[in-house]
């Protein structure tokens, strides 16, 4: 399996995140959070969402999709991992947390940002060993009834010995 060196993949993901953000955005200044206590679980409806990718160029390469969330509501808490599903024609598969990753608690103030990254191995187009993913959806811990869907335009995902994708925990962003 060919993979990018980690530094190159991180640099590419950062560059694409800053220059090639998707139009997938939710939330707004008119967010209704009056019923939500400050410090409670973050609600997806209170988040602005931006997506950037370092797509894997060929089968066997590793790619990343970074989702950045901006809290437009009251201070809230993220405890655990985002729930990520990959949707393809014949079904859905859940993405597991990165091996060895530990869930942590993150307090996100109004205007605060965080991100998580979906890492995947690109599959071979048309192969029985690949999932032809068209969408990905994610939920936040404590708000699992509300999902955000994004178009998956990053190629097939390898599935030898299970789906070759994982999701990071929430990372702090900004100051």
Q: pLDDT per residue over 46-96, tens digit each?
A: 999 999 999 999 999 999 999 999 999 999 999 999 999 999 988 999 999
User: For residue 118, is pLDDT > 90?
Assistant: yes
Confidence at 161, pLDDT banded by 50, 70, 90: low
Strand partners, 69: 49, 114
Q: What percent of the chain has pLDDT over 90?
A: 62
How remote is the C-alpha of 157 from its chain's centroid?
15
DSSP class of residue 165? Answer: E
Q: Where are the alpha helices (DSSP H) in 20-98?
A: none
Confidence at 102, pLDDT banded by 50, 70, 90: confident
**If you search the block for the tokens 């209704």, which residue do you land on?**
32
Determine the Cα–Cα distance for residues 37 and 41; give it in Å rounded to an integer.
Answer: 9
Q: How far is the CA of 143 from the CAs of 45, 50, 94, 139, in angstroms? A: 9, 19, 17, 7
Q: What does pTM read for this prediction?
A: 0.75
């Amino acid at each position: 399996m060919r993979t990018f060196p980690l530094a190159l993949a991180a640099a590419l993901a950062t560059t694409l995140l800053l220059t090639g953000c998707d139009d997938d955005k939710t939330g707004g200044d008119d967010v209704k959070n009056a019923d939500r206590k400050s410090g409670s679980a973050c609600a997806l409806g209170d988040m602005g969402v931006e997506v950037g990718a370092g797509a894997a160029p060929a089968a066997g390469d590793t790619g990343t999709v970074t989702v950045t969330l901006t809290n437009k509501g009251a201070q809230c808490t993220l405890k655990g991992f985002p729930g990520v599903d990959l949707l393809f024609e014949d079904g859905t598969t859940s993405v597991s947390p990165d091996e060895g990753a530990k869930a942590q608690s993150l307090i996100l103030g109004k205007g605060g940002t965080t991100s998580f990254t979906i890492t995947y191995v690109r599959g071979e187009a048309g192969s029985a060993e690949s999932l032809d993913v068209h969408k990905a959806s994610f939920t936040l811990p404590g708000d699992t009834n509300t999902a955000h869907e994004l178009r998956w335009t990053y190629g097939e995902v390898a599935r030898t010995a299970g789906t070759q994708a994982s999701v990071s925990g929430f990372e702090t962003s900004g100051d």
